[in-house]
Amino acid sequence: MSDNISFYVAGVPVPEGSTRAFVVKGKPRIVHQGAKSLDAWRQRIATEAQRARPEQWPNDATSSYDVTVSFLLSRPESVKWWKRIRPTVKPDIDKTGRAVLDALTGILWPDDCQVCRLTIEKDYADNHDDPPGAYIEVTEHDNTSPRPLRRSAK
């Protein structure tokens, strides 16, 4: 049996930034690039996921998940629609997808390692008459099988 939810997150998609590590007064510090905007984006994703999640949504270690994310980005004023049909510039599609998976950890699944299929696309919002944001669809699958019956030796 599988469960499915879909939701839309309005706003400018923010990629999971690269991390930088350095030492301050003998203690290691790790910092994300764009941490402030990334935290706000993750919070919007988490809020919309909580609204869309049904009460009986399974959130255990025995499930696997398929995730589809469609990012809609703003087209820069300097880029006419006939010069660039699709966004082949930053943000990187893998980093924006990673931000979504991290935001949904603890809400739709215990750990994002349970995501077994991830489909991501990005397009300009004006190609869809929609505002910038992300459409997210998650399908949960029971990842167990009935235990086989033992055969008796004859």
What pLDDT, in 10s, does the model give residues 27-41? 887 776 667 788 899
Mean pLDDT along residues 51-65: 88
Cα dihedral 47, 98, 101, 118 in deg (nearest 10)? 130
pLDDT of 59 strictly over 80: no
CATH code for the structural domain at 2-142? 3.30.1330.70
pTM of the model: 0.83
Identify the three-state secondary structure at position 98: helix
